[in-house]
Amino acid sequence: MKHIYDYKKTDRVFPYTKVILYNELKAKSEQAGLKKKRVHDFRHSHASLLIDMGINPLLISERLGHERVETTLNTYSHLYPSRADELAEKLNKIVPF
């Protein structure tokens, strides 16, 4: 890696430390009147948004870095039942009863 990127052990990928990010999240959560937010909470929000957008679970699984799509489905399955009405409406459009 050093030969390709001239990377030094003191170099940072991100300009902020974990402590700085943690303190900012804590301060902004308090300002907004929310419970304390963790960086990991944004991962769940992102996955929830993708599910709500109708993105295929396999694509979400790949994006989150899960080895198996079942991990994604087990973690976020509670977000899918609300889509049953949408499914029924789509089926009724092609085969009305």
On the question of pLDDT at 28 being above 90, the answer is yes
Task: Express as a percent the part of the chain with pLDDT over 90.
Answer: 51
Global pTM?
0.64
Q: How far is CA 5 from CA 8, 9, 10, 15, 30, in A?
A: 9, 12, 13, 17, 40
Digit-coded pLDDT (tens) for 2-23: 566 777 777 777 778 889 989 9
Q: What pLDDT does 58 receive?
A: 96
